[in-house]
A and B are shown apart, each in its own frame.
Chain A
Amino acid sequence: MSWALIALGLVPLIAAALSLTCDWRLARAATAVAGLVSLGLAIAVAIAVEHGRTLQAADGWVRLDSLGAVFLLATGLLYAVAGVYSVGYLHADEQTRDFARFARRYFALLNLFGWSMLLVPLAADFGTLWVTVELTTVISALLVATDRTDAALEASWKYVLIASSGLGIALLAIIVLYATGTHALGDAYLPRFARLIAHAHGSSIDAVRLAFVLAVVGFGTKVGFVPMHTWLPDAHSEAPAPVSALLSGSLLAGAFYAILRFFQVAVAAGERSFAEHVLIVFGALSLIVASLFVLRQSNYKRLLAYSSIEHMGVIALGIGFGAPLAVAGALLHVITHASAKGLAFFGAGSLLRGYDTKEIAEVTGAGTAMPWTGPMFLAAALALCGLPLSGVFRSEFQIVCGGFAEPQYVGVTLLLVFVNLAFFGILWHAGRMVLTPPAGSGVARGEASAWLVAGMLGCLFVVIALGVHLPGDLSALLTNAGHRLASPAR
């Protein structure tokens, strides 16, 4: 199966090269196909590693285990639907001047972005991990700036500056971790995950703690943990809708994956409770602040962005609770959040195309004006809030149950209160946008493109399917990944 790992790294690159050199129609097709192929490959390798196997390729530089596969799935899914959705999203611009150049550049960058995010869970050592995460930052910064408006440039500059500085701290974390390893592994070694985890026991406790905190702060900047989240709403609201979806569902999760690798080392060094406490503090803080911001938003893309921060807080809490059920729930939440947030951002993108505004107050009667987008945006909102039938409900329910089992009453209480607060906020805003009577006749009725609807339907299918029935393969994968987090040295 290790050929599939190499293929995963090559397919998007080929698509990117095609996008740059060929006609924009071919670029469009290549992107959609590359996304779908990557998703297929991701599912295939995920099934291969679900019982604890580890795939390796390229002399050990590329490696995948069940933990990485969870994140690979989330990225593969979003990459595929974003590719399809982009076809429709750019449709409206086709008449503008210079469209061919714009489209070629856009698709090339989108493919590169997908490529870099697929590489994150495939990295086998901390150095490569950092490099791939930084790659995602710089490539997505260009994508955020695609629209070239004042606001987009501002968002992009803030994003690349804050995220890169955060990653500078993360680099420090990696170096500290490397130094702790010299004790057992000698002066010069490759900081492979497996090797560091195997030798973590007996290394300096202070240094491991320092490295973990630095990693949470550094990579946490990209995850969007409060108070390092300031770039996130700007970047998410100004990027094109497919890019927002990838940022929210995949890029944040990828950075969180990096934190989980540090978490593994900390657990192996016997610092489990310390690491969990750090995650609980950051998770709770993000959840609280983000849900309060959700209430007072007037821009629906920023609303969704704050909801992403909230969900990252939920995932951090789930890992922090430490019960196997909660950990599996948190990992499932990575996938369900990716699909639900993809759906929501796609819906928001269609609304933006239809109404040409990002203000919540100016969007009314979407339910009747846009017969597909309106209901699906509402469905996305409901799913994000964790209503039953959606996968998000399942994962959040698992986290709460796990928290009660541990027991972590303070954390669970905070979780329940503020998730409900966000529930209220999102539903209130989304309801006003969709269920009101349409105002005036300025808005064209109908959908801009069938491709938009196709992308949304794909996400909706995944959200509902995961809520109704969790496939046995996926559940095995999640359990195995949970084991890897709980006892990494085994």
Chain B
Amino acid sequence: VLTLAPLVSGVIARGEAIVQQRTGPRVRQPYFDIVKLLGKETVLPGPAGFLFRAAPYVSFAGYATVPLLIPVLTTYGLPLGYMGDILGGGLILGGAGFAISIAAIDSGSPYAQLGSSRLRTFGALNEPTVIFVVFVVALTTHTDLPYVLGATLRASTVEVVRPSHLLIIAAFFMLVLNETGRIPVGSHGGTLEFGQIDEGRVSEHSGPGLAFLRWGSSVKQLVLYTIFANVLLAPWGLASSGRLDLVVVAIALLAGKALAIGVVVIVIECSFAKLRLYKLPEFTVSSFMLAVLAVVIFLFQPGFGDLRLTVFGAAATVTAVFVLLLELGMLRSQDVWEQLGLYAVGSAVVAALAIATAASGHGNGSLYILAAVTIALKALLFPIGIRFVLRRLEADPRVPSTIGVPSALLIAVALAAFAFVVIRPIHIGTIAALPLSALPVAVGGVLVAFLLMVLRPYAPSQLLGFLILENAVSVASLVIAPGLPIILALLLLFDLLIGVLVFVVLVQYLAIERTAVRTDMLDRLTG
């Protein structure tokens, strides 16, 4: 891990540069940096004491210990594996971060202190997320040793696609982004002081101290990626014994997984802007909410009987959760173009579910037609058409919510949990248990769509609320009624088309008569 970590950092930096059409640093650059820094002398700031000098080594030791506790390469615990559970690992990571923060304060530099205080402020919100993630792990496995969770997932793959587990994955991924200081939270390699959180703290260090801090931070990044990949997402391909060939395969796979995550991170870094600083709590709160929802869902998930893994079931739950997450994203978004984009992605996912359903032998071939029509209408025609109309009307793209994002998300999570409580006692037909667990998620999606309509007093957003409502219903229909005759499904879509046309006509009327597409001005008719 220690040797691999800088490589991952280097690859991400290089990949990002390539996407941004720069040449970028060499992949091995982090190694050179570390070696170079090790050879330099240390310059201490005036007020610094022993804490400042000790911090790099303490934190590096901390980061280097954690890999012993988590399944990096092997399925069985290393000799020390049972010394600490996930919380223990978290504690050590936190302790290492704490040492750096203390050192930053000790340095007396305002930048370093600012970075440190920012990190603490936002980091405080991360801890409840970690705790709730651990709750779900504990509920699933009755322990919180990372090895055991990995083993449980290997034993029954079906656990991965349970809605609660999918939500945990999403929450933890947001946490990883946050903890490693990636966009949209911080900018990793940036030199601009305003954007710095993680980097700000180390700005006073130099020489070998800085080398260890850099190295330590890339180790931390890899450790988090490893937990994400080997514990939560895909705990396969680990060496089950100490044989050399297995270990080599495991190393290669670990590198592959870490790089795959790195690619996702690159895509996110390059396609989103950094959030404004005071928006950051929204981000952490979102990940916390997802973790809470996961726990609630786990507690209330219906006893549908035996869970058997099928492609259809997995696709159904993944799609349902994904659509729900996109809806939450729309709830957070304050920009109508962004909402349109999210809607288009959601529709494409629904179409993908239709294809997966047909491919796995449920329903019949006509679902391919349905998928094609879905993509044509909902992923292309509607978003592009609505965008065109709004552009022509020169509508203001900002659609602020009437209440704050965290409260909106709280309500949304409560609604989604409510859906689970309601659906729980209901038994439907002969559908297998796994796809059925996607049904409450879809119903939750319907409720969240209502919430979006209520919270946005803007005609385009309300129209989109109606459309995502329809998307959630589509997921439900694919899940519990995949055999619905194609002619009916097409009729429904045709009806939707007419409905959207009428909506658009009305939006135009509104824009022409009222010079705005706000709907909270519509308050004449009461009583």
Contact = CB atoms under 8 A, between A and B. Distances in A.
B98 interface: no
Interface in B326-363: 362-363
Contacts of A207: 426-429
A451 interface: no
A188 B364 contact: yes
B505 A183 contact: no
B509 interface: yes
A165 B363 contact: no
A219 interface: no
B492 interface: yes
A157 interface: yes
A168 B446 contact: yes
A165 B430 CA distance: 29
B428 A180 contact: yes
B368 interface: no
A150 B513 contact: yes
A186 B484 CA distance: 11
B443 interface: yes
A141 B506 contact: yes
Contact of A135 (B362, B450, B495, B509): B495
Interface stretch (A8-16, A82-90, A233-241): A233-241
Interface stretch (A126-134, A251-259, A423-431, A459-467): A126-134
Nearest to B522: A154
B499 A145 contact: no
A222 interface: no
Interface residues of B, number: 51
A260 to B, nearest CB: 20
A175 B522 contact: no
A474 interface: no
Nearest to B486: A188
B429 A183 contact: yes
B485 A190 contact: yes
Given A157-B510, A161-B466, A171-B473, A293 B498 contact: no
Nearest to A187: B483
A233 B483 contact: no
A327 interface: no
Contacts of A171: 470, 473, 477, 492
Contacts of B525: 151, 154-155, 158, 233-234, 237-238
B457 to A, nearest CB: 11
Contacts of A141: 502, 506
A237 B522 CA distance: 15
A175 B483 contact: no
B482 interface: yes
Interface in A167-197: 168-169, 171-172, 175-176, 178-183, 186-191
Given A150-B514, A154-B525, A175-B473, A161 B453 contact: yes
A138 interface: yes
Contact of A168 (B466, B484, B502): B466
Contacts of B12: none
B450 A178 contact: no
Contacts, number: 151
The size class of the interface chain A forms with chain B is: 35 or more
A293 B527 CA distance: 8
A326 to B, nearest CB: 31
A157 B522 contact: yes
Nearest to B519: A157
B488 interface: yes
Interface in B422-475: 425-431, 443, 446, 449-450, 453, 459, 462, 466, 469-470, 473
A145 B506 CA distance: 8
Contacts of B470: 168, 171
B451 to A, nearest CB: 12
B273 interface: no
A103 B525 CA distance: 27
Contacts of B498: 135, 138
B524 interface: yes
B481 interface: yes
A77 interface: no
B480 to A, nearest CB: 4
Nearest to B494: A131
Interface centre among B491, B494, B514 (most CB of A within 10 A): B491
A50 interface: no
Contacts of B491: 127-128, 131
Contacts of B171: none
A310 interface: no
Contacts of A190: 485, 488
B293 interface: no
Contacts of A98: none
Contacts of A182: 429-431, 481, 483
B469 A186 contact: no
B469 A134 contact: no
A188 B514 CA distance: 48
A153 interface: yes
A175 B499 contact: no
B503 A165 contact: no
B453 A179 contact: no
A139 B425 CA distance: 39
Interface string A228-253: 00000110011000000000000000
B175 interface: no
B476 interface: yes
A186 B502 contact: no
Interface string A108-145: 00000000000000000101101100110111011001
Nearest to A162: B453
A191 B469 CA distance: 22
Most buried by B among A142, A182, A234, A302: A182
Given A150-B514, A157-B522, A168-B466, 4 more contacts: A168-B449, A175-B476, A206-B428, A210-B426
23 contacts: A127-B484, A128-B491, A130-B492, A131-B491, A131-B494, A138-B502, A141-B506, A151-B524, A153-B514, A157-B519, A168-B470, A171-B492, A172-B473, A172-B476, A176-B428, A178-B481, A181-B429, A182-B430, A191-B488, A206-B428, A207-B429, A238-B525, A296-B527
Nearest 8 Cβ contacts at the A-B interface? A188-B483, A127-B488, A187-B483, A154-B522, A179-B480, A206-B426, A138-B502, A234-B525
